[in-house]
Structure 1
Amino acid sequence: MKIMLLEDNVKLNSTIKKRLELKGYKVFSYVDGKEAFNNIMEGFSCFILDINVPNVDGIKILKKIREFYSEVPVIIISASVELDVIKESYDFGCNDYLKKPFFIDELEIKVERLCQITDDIITFDKDCYFDYKSSTITIDGETQRLTKKERLLINLFLTKKNQVLTYEAIENYVWEGSFVSIESIRSLVRRLRKVVKKDYIETVVDTGYKFKVD
């Protein structure tokens, strides 16, 4: 999982980054708010933001994140105890607030709780399910292992059932913000369609796709 960390205290930034990387996360850390702001669209699955940072504060970044991502977890870390600051953070869509100083273990727990898939098995139809842990999909008793990108795509579809996913949203999540052509996205969707067999994936012309389930 790819995490953005914004913390202007260099020592704390380095400590958090190292601890989370030991857990297997990919952590992209920033000490400057403007630099973090400019990289919001780089395919992050979780954001950890300090509020009082140089150039662009964490609240402004939070608001910008919510313009693009309604459900990606955002954890605010801040020394502020002012109720209006805390309230503003939640009003603009933060999922949790951690007051400094804190134990890194506390942050790890929040990341695991908010940013990880809690269910290894995701059912999307009768006798059809996706096993996130083993990267396999089972359709009517037939099990097939998925490639990394197929796994990421089906996970995205299943967390956004019956919602339109744009090419850009797929690019950001599956390719983790790296540029990819629309044809490459279409090719991946074609491969996944062969796996799921049924007509779950609907094309939304000139926009993207929708994973339709009852």
Structure 2
Amino acid sequence: MRTEPFTGPDGARIPVVRTRHWGRLAAALVAVAVAGWLVYLFAANPRLHWGKVVEYLFNDRILAGVWVTIEISVLATVLGLVLGVAMAILRLSHNPVLSGLATLYIWFFRGTPVLVQLIFWYNLAFLFPELVLKIPFTMIGLKWDTNEVMTGFTAAMLGLGLNLAAYFAETVRAGIQAVDHGQTEAAYALGMTPPPSGCG
């Protein structure tokens, strides 16, 4: 970085003047004017009664819905993160079956609209009226009514969580593959071991 002043051939100091970018200034002024105009359209619109907006915004039912949204968001994110890390590890596996299944999962859940997935989970009882978990070839197990299990809350959490898992999986996979080879060698030098040949 240059710290000494610029000088000419005769040793005289040359002043440094910042270049003015008039195009940037004009674009910024236009953007601010458009944003201000849009704010004014909403703020001064006679069809919007702001008193009613505030009244309904803090209504008990609205606040309850906000809390449910936060719950679903947190649970779906945790589910997506845990499952996404597992899918990323399977995706990087040398086992072609595990890697192929993880790739299929990621492809399906990233390529299908989230709304379609939510509708599917909410209407799961159409395909499976009862959910059965039992020991194969025996009558020992548990059975649930699908409509009682797959409520709106459960369907939303499951649908969003499984969808997020596909995106988290690709993010984690890219992060793992971005680790420099030298870092891997450094880990080996510290005594860390590679994963089993069937998993990594």
Q: Between Structure 1 and Structure 2, whose CA radius of gyration is higher?
A: 2
More strand, by proportion: 1
TM-score computed with the length of structure 2 as normaliser: 0.23
Greater relative contact order (CA < 8 Å, ≥ 6 in sequence): 2
More helix, by proportion: 2
TM-score computed with the length of structure 1 as normaliser: 0.22
